[in-house]
Structure 1
Amino acid sequence: MTAVEPEDEKKVDLEDVLDKFSIYRSYHLQIAGLIFLGFATNTMFCSNFIFVAEETGYTCIRNFTDNNTGCAECLYDNPNSFVAELQLANQEWKRTLVGTVHSLGYMVGLLIVGPLSDRFGRKNAFIMTGVLGGVFGVARSFSHSYWLYICLEFLEAFIGDCCSPAYILITEVVSTKQRLKFILMCTIGYTFGGFATSLAAWLVPYWRTLLQVLYTPALLFFFYKYLLDESPRWLLIKGHKEKAVEVLEKAAMKNNQKLDKHFLDKLSCENNETLDFFKIIKSTFQSKVLCGRFFVCLVWWTTSTFVNYGLTITSVSLQGNKYINFALLSVVDLPGLFIITYILTYCKRKLPLICCFFAAAVLCVSQPFVPLDLPWLSIVFFMAGKLMSSFYFNITYLYTSELFPTYTRNSMHALCSSLGRIGSIISPQTPLLMQYWFGLPSLIFGLASLFGGFVTFFVPDIADDSLPDTISQAEELGKPKKPLACTNPNATN
């Protein structure tokens, strides 16, 4: 066994302990694998409506006797489709409403999931949302009523987003130096989930069976209770130092390392007070610095969800096989994850985010003006625009989690993500704009990206800073480094 020598300092910050662990050893590889699956299911849950509630052609065989503009009886091209079984002919808005309701559920649910994660822990919130998401998803497959289906869609999204607590967990279980690489390992799950969704939709075309195939595995998240550990940073900030030390010792043992007990006893930044959660949230918004960052993050999230989901939805309308197009759109994110991780390693956060926003704006605005006799070029522009939007969505996820203190990190991250879901609520309706001009959705996506780039100038550039635990530490981000110290979480100065 390899020994890890204790340090001589009087106080030891958690960052120093986490830096002793390699993300390529057993303990963190296990965490990465478990969270990978969580992210994969998140993509499946968010995008399955594209195939489940896909457009289906129909022929009107009998008009209403008093109104020849409506159909009393229809013959559907696919009688086993979602549209046919729930009788949605002449009601296109009901079909597109499925995606909108899902995003609305996420928007409302994040306002609850984030605070639950900060109050009861990242692990508990992850397990609860993962399992309940699977339950409501499977239940949808048995619905024979459109409005019951819509209610279950909302409930699944409302309490089934395991992504938010999972993302905060992986940012807190590794040191600053290894955070980017570890997040990359885990977030590949998003790409895998998108590819798996298109593959499942191709192999299992019947929408009810497809839902069962996609959601049933999520029920196994219950076993994460025994496979996943809580964030030691969250345990420390809640005053559970013994449990945090237990997690760190378990990690060392799994990696064949040994941490000196006296070394762990010197861990700093523990807080044994019972914290008033709402008072801390209030104090966060009383800080002008953090309040300004919140509004910038809100723009980032709204733009990211609007453009990303909008481009994903319209991808099935491109020329060619819809399953292949969707799979390509997912796979193109994979090299993008490696590229953006490399860039963020050497260029911090701010400049790459601005460049990605502006590049996406140019590509999206240009795509409709590509000559119609060059469809391949149009697809290249589309895919490149999607890649850029994927870049800034990934940076937004990371950047937001680094700008706020541990006390309210998941709550603020979830709040930004929740309110920003207005973008994904609107995006399922963007294909309807194509009846006015086929390039209108892309033009709007480009303008939104342009605005997102401009507001990024108003936040500090960070990369090497340790995650702040308190409001005062968060306010110091981007300034010359000062030693991290435990302060009153309710203080803003």
Structure 2
Amino acid sequence: MAPTPSTEDKVTDISEIIGIYGTWQRRFFIWVLLGGILSCWLSLVTPFLAPEIDFWCQRPQTVLDNMSVEEWKVLAIPTQINLLTEEKEYSKCTMYETKINGTNEKDVFINVNKTVACEKFEFDHSIYSSTLLEEWNLVCEDNWLISLSQSAYMAGFLVAVLVLGQASDRLGRLPVMLLCFAFMIIAGLLGVFAPTFTVFIIARFFIGLGNSGLFTTAFIYVMESVGPNHRIWLGVGGSFGFSFGCIILPWIAWLIRDWFLIQLAITLPTIALGYIWWWIPESPRWLISQGKMEKAEEVTRKIMKINRKECADVQAALQNIRKISQMEDKGDEKLHVNVFDLLRKPSLRKITLYLFFIWIVTAFVFYGITLNTNELSGDPFINFFISGVVEIPACIMAMFSLRYYGRKTPLLSSLVSGGVVCFLAIIVPADIQWLKTTFLMLGKLSITGTFAIIYVYTAEIFPTVVRNVGLGCCSTVARIGSITSPFVKELSRATHPNVPFGLYGTVLVISGLLVLLLPETHKRTLMDTLEQGEHFHRPISQNKGQEQRHVSTGGFPFLEELTSETKLKILNSPPYSQHQVA
């Protein structure tokens, strides 16, 4: 009679030893939430560093010092029609030709028949005491550099996704997180004390690089440290930190109103949070995967003590987990999958390209609306605050809709409804701009829900062997949308203020229509192989005639080529046996 396996021989996951969700995981998750707040501040602070403020050509010094700003504008600044409000306003970048022949006002000659470009500027200080615009004269033909600085930040996100994700798999979670902290702190301080705007742009790139790398790796760490049943709600719940950051940031800017102090205020917490991360050990799951069993045992015992968990033989339990991991690795050695595997088979290729477009549009509209709240009428602080508040119900609605209405219907609804409200914003009369702002906030609510839904949907739609590759590639191409989104402001100035709304509406509706071409994954068994994925995504008409064969394989077509004995063995084991029971 074979001996009964010990408890340690039955352990298959590290969470069974340290606890599926205890004090240690709870502390770590709180740190991730705090980090999400900080991540939001660093990502979306640009509208408060370089806000939309009034400026005009500078009055001649010494000669017209006693002349009020309004008198100067009446005399020397031409007027033009504001395309958004359809009202007259003073030009910001031109003035009438002015000649000074003496030392008093009578010696100033203003030629109202000729306009010239401003050489120097004065800025309105009624809302902000200091901005990046004034610091480096980033106005008129140089105003696009503000959008460039935000795009540089998003480019840092892109590089982090491509490089630091692989680095964390090879070097460990902790070294990459500490490296990213160094990037954020050094680059953050460099941005505060930047001697030129070029240096500021470089600093923004490395802030984005560190921010993305840090919190992406921290998210992976959380998923590796809790039980399977907690990964879904922790994964979605982690996004609430970012939403809370959107709510808090405008109040920080409202209280300070100085770009230098605002930048300093969001950089110093990075240093404070960094001290906390020094107390976090390496991921025990990663240590086991690398065969560093002594260190894994040390870290595991530390976490067990905090969670008040006990195990008769920790070393044996960890060795069993290692053994299972090695067996899985051997089974996957021949599966060196990459992005080209997503494009090799026709049905998966279509699905992948559709998802790429939807991800790009989602990031483009989300950051386009959020970063350009200053372009809307009304108080900029309140507008940004509302855009943050709407993210909370959006995430909650997404969670409930995913549970009760599947995947396609919620995703389709959020995309199309977002497009419709953007189109409605176009037809709002010029004299009720508050309604336009309301429609844009509804658009922000819809696109935030889209972000929450598409992560879950994408993870389900790809087979297991390419799931990480597929989700990673979608997240990577989404950066194309976030990099280009800051330039929507320049598009509105070069064409018409309503053009961005039309662009948002068009791409959102197109994305929604593409969802109709995607399969439903709700309550469906996840695919494991590329062949399963190809069959799953194949049109129904091509699958007719195979239903009878599916009966003998428990509904899993990939078992068709196996022997009867192998089929029975697989169908009687999890997760397939669980699927049949369900």
Assess same fold via TM > 0.5: yes
- After the TM superposition, which residues 93-104 of structure 1 pair with which residues of structure 2 at under 5 Å, given as runs? 93-104=144-155
Q: How far apart, CA to CA, are the structure 1 residues paired with 2:480 and 2:39?
A: 18
For residue 75 of structure 1, give the secondary structure of its aligned residue in structure 2.
strand
What number of residue pairs does the alignment pair up? 477
Residue type at the aligned position of 2:50: A
Gaps of 5+ in 1: 1-5, 486-493
2:481 pairs with 1:419: no
2:175 pairs with 1:124: yes
- Name the residue aligned to 1:438: 497
Relative to structure 1, the CA distance from residue 453 to residue 236 in structure 2 (aligned partners, 3 Å threshold; closer, same or farther) is: farther
Percent identity over paired residues: 25
| Deviation (angstroms), 1:259 | 4.0
Q: How far apart, CA to CA, are the structure 1 residues paired with 2:530 and 2:173?
A: 20
TM-score normalised according to structure 2 size: 0.70
- After the TM superposition, which residues 69-88 of structure 1 pair with which residues of structure 2 at under 5 Å, given as runs? 69-78=116-125, 80-88=130-138
Residue type at the aligned position of 1:112: V
| Deviation (angstroms), 1:266 | 3.6
Residue type at the aligned position of 1:104: A
TM-score normalised according to structure 1 size: 0.82
- Name the residue aligned to 1:362: 420
Question: 2:339, 2:470 within 8 Å by CA — same for their partners in 1?
Answer: no
Q: How far apart, CA to CA, are the structure 1 residues paired with 2:276 and 2:522?
A: 33
- Name the residue aligned to 2:383: 325
Question: 2:378, 2:434 within 8 Å by CA — same for their partners in 1?
Answer: no
Question: 1:301, 1:417 within 8 Å by CA — same for their partners in 2?
Answer: yes
- Name the residue aligned to 2:401: 343
Gaps of 5+ in 2: 61-94, 100-113, 538-554, 557-569, 576-582
Question: 2:457, 2:521 within 8 Å by CA — same for their partners in 1?
Answer: no
Question: 2:47, 2:372 within 8 Å by CA — same for their partners in 1?
Answer: no
Relative to structure 1, the CA distance from residue 428 to residue 225 in structure 2 (aligned partners, 3 Å threshold; closer, same or farther) is: closer
Give the counterpart of 2:452 among 379, 391, 394. 394
Per-residue deviation, residues 209-258 of structure 1 (Å, max 9, x unmatched): 11111012212444354443444554454445665566555444433233
For residue 396 of structure 1, give the secondary structure of its aligned residue in structure 2.
helix
- Name the residue aligned to 1:489: none
2:57 pairs with 1:60: yes
Relative to structure 1, the CA distance from residue 388 to residue 350 in structure 2 (aligned partners, 3 Å threshold; closer, same or farther) is: same
Q: How far apart, CA to CA, are the structure 2 residues paired with 1:148 and 1:140?
A: 7
- Name the residue aligned to 1:182: 234
- Name the residue aligned to 1:49: 46
Deviation larger for 409-418 or 153-162: 409-418
Relative to structure 1, the CA distance from residue 246 to residue 412 in structure 2 (aligned partners, 3 Å threshold; closer, same or farther) is: farther
- Name the residue aligned to 1:458: 518
Deviation larger for 86-95 or 132-141: 86-95
2:19 pairs with 1:38: no
Residue type at the aligned position of 2:171: F
Deviation larger for 226-235 or 207-216: 226-235
Q: How far apart, CA to CA, are the structure 1 residues paired with 2:299 and 2:418?
A: 42
- After the TM superposition, which residues 131-280 of structure 1 pair with which residues of structure 2 at under 5 Å, given as runs? 131-161=182-212, 162-240=214-292, 250-259=302-311, 261=313, 265-267=319-321, 269-271=324-326, 280=337
For residue 120 of structure 2, give the secondary structure of its aligned residue in structure 1.
strand
For residue 325 of structure 2, give the secondary structure of its aligned residue in structure 1.
coil
Higher RCO by CA contacts (8 Å cutoff, separation 6 or greater) = 1
- Which structure has the larger Rg over C-alpha atoms? 2
Deviation larger for 323-332 or 227-236: 227-236
Relative to structure 1, the CA distance from residue 233 to residue 449 in structure 2 (aligned partners, 3 Å threshold; closer, same or farther) is: farther
- After the TM superposition, which residues 271-310 of structure 1 pair with which residues of structure 2 at under 5 Å, given as runs? 271=326, 280-281=337-338, 285=342, 288=345, 294-310=352-368
What is the aligned-residue RMSD (CA, Å)? 4.0
Question: 1:164, 1:410 within 8 Å by CA — same for their partners in 2?
Answer: no
Question: 2:492, 2:499 within 8 Å by CA — same for their partners in 1?
Answer: yes
Relative to structure 1, the CA distance from residue 283 to residue 360 in structure 2 (aligned partners, 3 Å threshold; closer, same or farther) is: closer
Per-residue deviation, residues 111-141 of structure 1 (Å, max 9, x unmatched): 1122222322334333322331232022111
| Deviation (angstroms), 1:155 | 2.6
Residue type at the aligned position of 2:264: Q
Q: How far apart, CA to CA, are the structure 1 residues paired with 2:178 and 2:536?
A: 32
Per-residue deviation, residues 242-284 of structure 1 (Å, max 9, x unmatched): 6556655544443323345465554364139799999554785
Deviation larger for 270-279 or 384-393: 270-279
Residue type at the aligned position of 1:454: L
Relative to structure 1, the CA distance from residue 451 to residue 283 in structure 2 (aligned partners, 3 Å threshold; closer, same or farther) is: closer
Q: How far apart, CA to CA, are the structure 1 residues paired with 2:226 and 2:235?
A: 9
Residue type at the aligned position of 1:441: P
| Deviation (angstroms), 1:438 | 3.0
Q: How far apart, CA to CA, are the structure 1 residues paired with 2:464 and 2:176?
A: 16
- Name the residue aligned to 1:385: 443
Question: 1:38, 1:130 within 8 Å by CA — same for their partners in 2?
Answer: no
Per-residue deviation, residues 413-464 of structure 1 (Å, max 9, x unmatched): 4443232211112211212333433322122112222233334443561578
Per-residue deviation, residues 302-325 of structure 1 (Å, max 9, x unmatched): 112101011112322333221121
Relative to structure 1, the CA distance from residue 124 to residue 250 in structure 2 (aligned partners, 3 Å threshold; closer, same or farther) is: same
Relative to structure 1, the CA distance from residue 291 to residue 176 in structure 2 (aligned partners, 3 Å threshold; closer, same or farther) is: farther
Residue type at the aligned position of 2:439: F
Residue type at the aligned position of 1:26: T
